[in-house]
Amino acid sequence: MKTRLKGILCGLGVLLSPTVFAADVAIVVHGGAGTILKKNMSAEQEQHYAEKLEEATRAGYALLKQGEAGEKAVVAAIQILEESPLFNAGNGAVYTYDETHELDASIMHGKNLEAGAVSGVTTIKSPIEAALAVMQHSSHVLLAGKGAEAFAQSQGLQQVDNSYFNTQHRLKALQKAKARMQEQQREDGGQQGSEKMGTVGAVVLDKSGNIVAGTSTGGMTAKRYGRVGDAPIIGAGTYADNESCGVSATGHGEYFIRYNVAADICARVRYQGVSIQRAAETVINEELKQAGGTGGVIAMDKRGNITMPFNTAGMYRASINVEGKFSVGIYKNLMKDTHKQ
């Protein structure tokens, strides 16, 4: 009897193993959406972006494969992009109207909907790390400005002078935006072209089946009056729920806040039972597009299905799916879509 039972269990194990027992992991990252046109990019620039995206994706994936928690992979991937001047996050962040940098970031864990975020921070080297500290070591969700910085300091996080985030190309973008604002007598940046690209984000599925999402940004060029975008707003720029999906957004933040974009995508998956592709596509290329909101998202469901829709000319993005398949893209079509590990 005992042997028979063992035999049956063994058989079941073999039958179910690829789907039930395999701890599949996956990761998707983005480096911002906007008017990214091939005619404005050299082959060398394309390569730099693709390489950084690949580095961030593979770093996060390696941690996930080792069985590390999803939040660790999200932070590791985002930190690589924060440290690169190519992206509008950390070093390379856009300038405010007053020629400073005010950074926003958030992270959310899909198991129990825990979340942490910081907004308008000026001296925290890695805003995504600060968001994680808020999630793990504070009873709050969103800390702003000086208070967030004092909290980060109390957690022993690295502080830098605001000039650490300076780059020449972002300064030029600010000068252009300001000249246009003056000419058109506008109060806001009214950003164009590359002035607003480069927010970064990551969504992962870890070995425990948890979805974690994070986003980090310098916001929008020439922003004023303590403007806060969607990136640190849970539900707008970042959302994760193991029951539905994880999302990180990039684009014109005001629209993403008003349309509650990240949470809306997950709500459609959960309540309408539609696929992640369908939900994200509807929100980005129908609802948001009709409203005039530009941008895109990366999203992943609990099975590790990935989608990366955008309604702009391009979006920097890369992923490794549950089968280990790597892909990277800038414009509409993916540049590389391989099984290379």
List residues with catalytic annotation: 199
Rule CB under 6 A: say whether 261 interacts with ligand ASP: no
Identify the residue whose tokens are 């000419």. 183
Structure tokens of 197? Answer: 């690209």
Q: Does 308 bind ligand ASP (CB under 6 A)?
A: no
Distance CA 80, CA 83 (A): 5
Least gap, CB of 168 to ligand ASP (angstroms): 20
Burial label, 188 (beta-carbon count in 10 A; 0-12, 13-18, 19+) = middle
Q: Select 106 or 217, whichever has its Cβ closest to ligand ASP.
A: 217
Q: In angstroms, what is the minimal distance from the CB of 26 to ligand ASP?
A: 23
The least CB distance from residue 253 to ligand ASP, in Å, is: 2
Q: Is 16 exposed, middle or buried (0-12, 13-18, 19+ CB in 10 A)?
A: exposed
220 binds ligand ASP (CB under 6 A): yes
**Nearer residue to ligand ASP within complex by CB, 25 or 247:** 247
**Strand, coil or helix: 154:** helix
Kindly state the smallest distance separating residue 280's Cβ from ligand ASP, in Å.
Answer: 16
| Nearest Cα to Cα of residue 213 among 20, 89, 30, 39 | 30
**Contact flag: residue 250 with ligand ASP (CB under 6 A):** yes
Selected from 92, 251, 293, 304, the binder of ligand ASP by CB under 6 A is 251
Q: Is residue 219 involved in binding ligand ASP (CB under 6 A)?
A: yes
Of 64 and 108, the one with the shorter C-beta distance to ligand ASP is: 108
> Binding ligand ASP by CB under 6 A: which of 217, 221, 244, 311?
217
102 binds ligand ASP (CB under 6 A): no
Place of tokens 């992640």: 276
Helix (H, G, I), strand (E, B) or coil at 238: strand
Residue 284 as a binder of ligand ASP (CB under 6 A): the answer is: no
Residues 32 to 51: which contact ligand ASP by CB under 6 A? 32
288 part of the interface to ligand ASP, by CB under 6 A: no
Token digits for 153?
């300091």
Nearer to ligand ASP, 252 or 302 (CB): 252
124 strand-pairing partners: 159
- How many CB atoms sit inside 10 A of residue 63's CB? 22
- Least separation in angstroms between residue 89's CB and ligand ASP is 9
Distance in Å, CB of 196 to ligand ASP, minimum? 5
Angle at 134 between CA 132 and CA 138, to 5 degrees: 140
Taking alpha carbons only, the member of 4, 204, 219, 2 closest to residue 107 is 204
Tell me the two tokens of residue 275.
């696929």
Tell me whether residue 304 or residue 314 sits nearer to ligand ASP (CB atom).
314
Site track 221-240 with ligand ASP (rule: CB under 6 A), x = hit: --------xxx---------
Q: What angle do CA 13, 15, 17 make, to 5 degrees?
A: 60
Q: What distances in angstroms separate CA 192 from CA 170, 187, 214, 301, one per listed residue?
A: 13, 15, 25, 33
Helix (H, G, I), strand (E, B) or coil at 11: helix
Degrees, nearest 5: CA angle 214-217-220 = 140
Binding segment toward ligand ASP, per CB under 6 A, in 64-72, 112-120, 214-222, 312-320:
214-222
Minimal distance, residue 339 CB to ligand ASP, in Å: 30
Binding site for ligand ASP (CB under 6 A): 32, 196, 199, 217, 219-220, 229-231, 250-251, 253
